[in-house]
Each structure stands twice: as structure tokens, then as C-alpha cells.
Amino acid sequence: MRTVAINASRKYDVVIGQGLLQNLGKMISEVTSGRTAIIVSDDNVFPLYGSTVKEQLLSAGFEITEFVFLSGENSKNLDTYGKLLNTMSEKHLTRNDVVVALGGGVVGDLAGFAAATYQRGTGFVQVPTSLLAAVDSSVGGKTAVDLPSGKNQVGAFYQPSLVLCDTDTLKTLPDAEYRNGCAEIIKYAMIEDEALFEKIKATPIKDQYEEIIEICVKIKQLYVESDEFDVGKRMFLNFGHTIGHCVEACSNYEIPHGQGVAIGMVAITKAAWKKGFCSLELCEKLNELIEYYGLPTKLPFTAEEMFGASLSDKKNFGKKMRLIVPESIGKCRIETIGQDDFMTWLKSGGAQ
């Protein structure tokens, strides 16, 4: 078992290891004074782990309620959020009680935003069951739901009280979900850690889950502790995301987040090479690693379509955008451009 302590506005531990679900009730009881828990999950994850989580919470003295919704990004909206809040109210949860997010990034984002806003803040525990959530979205306190105009347009920074990453849950991941998580791990290597890049190039991530997750969480720890509210250094975690979010939106979220990030990383690196920020060799190394993990590399939409989607990106400010541009493996820079200039970056990245 490995533990990473996060020193943010709320201090909490990220615990990584096998068999953690079997001790979940006791661990959650140590970070909350309330004795009512609502398990928030989706219809893919809850049938796999819901009964175990309920059993462990009951054995620790919790009263249990549950909220299970249709899986997928299209459920991360104000309607589902409102239904969750109403369920919490109908079950008389108080500020001392706890929301347990059992699932991937969509579950964590939705449950976290409900926890942040219900009665101005209730207890919140992340139990990530996807690789992407384990290495990225469960840590750092970003919670949100989507609007029709764009992803994560309504949200709050709200740190959990605990993150429990049971690596046994990753054994049931479909290949597509495994690959989605690999994209975020490649992102961490590109922005911060050349040794990680070489490590996942030499040995498949699934053969070294605990170590790789710990490395990524420690990298994110550095960014969150130095810039919790995403106004400076934490922006580097958006490498590949500006274009990636455009790809997701243009596909009506049929292209999942990890695939979008993979495409976005390749596109921004190609554009960076053409604009003189990095070498062709860097493009080739990144492409090779992304293809090794079975992820897409080609932009599937036109520059005009993606530019339209970018106008609602929350990372825009005024008429400007900040792009995370790679210079070498483990080193990126923030490049501020005019919003209209984004079209040239898209075309340089391979868009028609």
C-alpha cells in the first residue's frame, strides 16, 4: 500500500493499493463524523462493486443510500446533478454526512460538485475505479458538470477528505478505458518526467499499476499544492486538453476524454514543431508511444468545427487563450495567443 499526502485547502491522503475496498468503511469513518453515506455511481460500476462498498459501510455503522445514473459524459449535466441533490435532501443528509464517489471521472466530477454545493459543502470521498480517475481526476479538487455549450462549465474547487484507489478494481476495466487512462499518464510524462516516459515505454502500465499511479499522483501533488485554483503552474496539466476538449465536444462525447487528450497531445506537439518550439524527433517519440498504447493520433474534425467548439472553453480569458506547448519530454511552456490565432494552431496540428 502506498500513501500520498495532499496539502491543499483540505489536507487528505491518496491511498493506493490492492484490496482497499475491504477496509473502506473503517477508513471513511476516520475522516467523517457523520454516519450517513450516499454512494454515487453509474450503471457500469455499481453492479461490480456497489454491494462490497455497501457492506463495508454498513459494517462501519453507516446508514446507506445510493444514487446510480446512466454511465457516460452525457449524464454529467445539470439534470442529473439536480436529481442527485434532491435525493440527498429527501434522505435528509446533513453537512456532517459523506458523499462516496464510486466510479470514474464522470462519477467523481458529478458527485464532487454535489458535495461542494449541498448545504454549502458536505463530506466527500473519492473511490476511483478507472485508471484515468486514479491518476488524475480523483485528485486535486476539480468538480463540475457540463452545459450544452461546453465541458465542465459549471463547477467548484472542492477537495475530498480521502481518495481510496483500490488497484484490484482496474482488473475489470475494458481495454478502451485502460487506454484512456494511459493517455493521461503519457501527459504527466510529457509535462514533468522523462524517466516516467521511458518507464512506460519499456514496460506496459498495467504491469506496474501501483508505482505508476503513485508517480502520477505525486506529480499532481506538486501542481495542486503550488496552485490549487489553477491560475498558474497547474495549467500545465492541461497539456493536450484544449484541442482534446474540442474533439470531445465535436463528437458529442462519443470520443472519450482519454482519446481526446491523446489526439490533442499529438496535434499540439505537431503544431509546436512547425512553429519552432520543439523538434520533429519529439513528435515522432510521442506518436510512437501513443500508438503503442492503442490510442488515436489523427484529428477527426475540421479546424473550423474545432475552433467553434473552442469558443466555450473555460480556459479562455477575454479574447485570448493559453496553450500548453511542449519543448522536450518533461518540459512545456505556456503560450498565450489571440483566440483567432487558434485556427492556425489547429491547421498546423493537422486539421483540414
pLDDT, tens digit (0-9, with 9 covering 90-100), for 150-207: 889 999 999 999 999 999 999 999 999 999 999 999 999 999 999 999 999 999 999 9
Give the CA angle between residues 279, 285, 287 to the nearest 5°.
Answer: 105
Nearest to 287 by CA among 278, 279, 296: 296
The pLDDT value recorded for residue 304 is 96
Delimit the domains of the chain by residue range: 2-172, 175-348
Q: Residue 300 in contact with residue 263, Cβ under 8 Å?
A: yes
Read off the amino acid at residue 60.
Answer: A
**pLDDT grade for 318, boundaries at 50, 70 and 90:** low
Q: Using a pLDDT cut of 90, give the percent of the chain over it.
A: 94
Number of residues written out for the chain: 352
Identify the band that residue 315 occupies on the pLDDT scale cut at 50, 70 and 90.
low
The topology (CATH level 3) of 2-172 is Rossmann fold (3.40.50)
- Whether 110 has a pLDDT exceeding 80, the answer reads yes
Ramachandran bin of 110, using left for φ above 0, alpha for ψ from -120 to 50, beta for the remaining angles: alpha
Query: pTM of the predicted model, to two decimals?
Result: 0.94
Does the pLDDT at position 317 exceed 80?
no
Task: Tell me, rounded to whole angstroms, the distance of Cα 247 from its chain centroid.
Answer: 16
- pLDDT for position 168: 97
Phi, psi of 335 (to 5 degrees): -115, 120
Strand 36-42 relative to strand 63-69: parallel, antiparallel, unpaired?
Answer: parallel
pLDDT digits (tens, 9 = 90+) for 200-219: 999 999 999 999 999 999 99
- Distant-in-sequence, close-in-space partners of 254: CB < 8 Å, separation ≥ 6: none
Q: Is CATH 1.20.1090.10 correct for 175-348? A: yes
In the beta sheet, which residues pair with residue 324? Answer: 334
**3-state SS class at 77:** strand
For the segment 226-235, the average pLDDT, to the nearest whole number, is 94
Place 64 in a pLDDT band, splitting at 50, 70 and 90: very high
User: Residue 94 — φ and ψ, nearest 5°?
Assistant: -115, 175
Which residues lie below 8 Å from residue 308, measured CB to CB, with a gap of 6+? none
Higher-confidence residue: 310 or 12?
A: 12
pLDDT number for residue 73: 93
Could you give the residue ranges of the DSSP H alpha helices within the chain?
Answer: 24-29, 46-59, 78-90, 105-117, 131-132, 175-192, 194-202, 209-226, 241-250, 257-274, 280-292, 303-310, 342-348
The whole-number pLDDT of residue 319 equals 81
User: 314: pLDDT confidence band, cut at 50, 70 and 90?
Assistant: low
Q: Which cell is 250 given?
A: 465535436
Q: Fill in the amino acid letter for 168.
A: D
3-state SS record for 148-181: CCEEEEEEEECCCCEEEEEHHHHHHCCHHHHHHH
Strands 11-17 vs 162-166: parallel, antiparallel or unpaired: parallel
pLDDT digits (tens, 9 = 90+) for 253-290: 999 999 999 999 999 999 999 999 999 999 999 999 99
Per-residue pLDDT, 149: 84
**Average pLDDT over the chain, rounded to whole?**
96
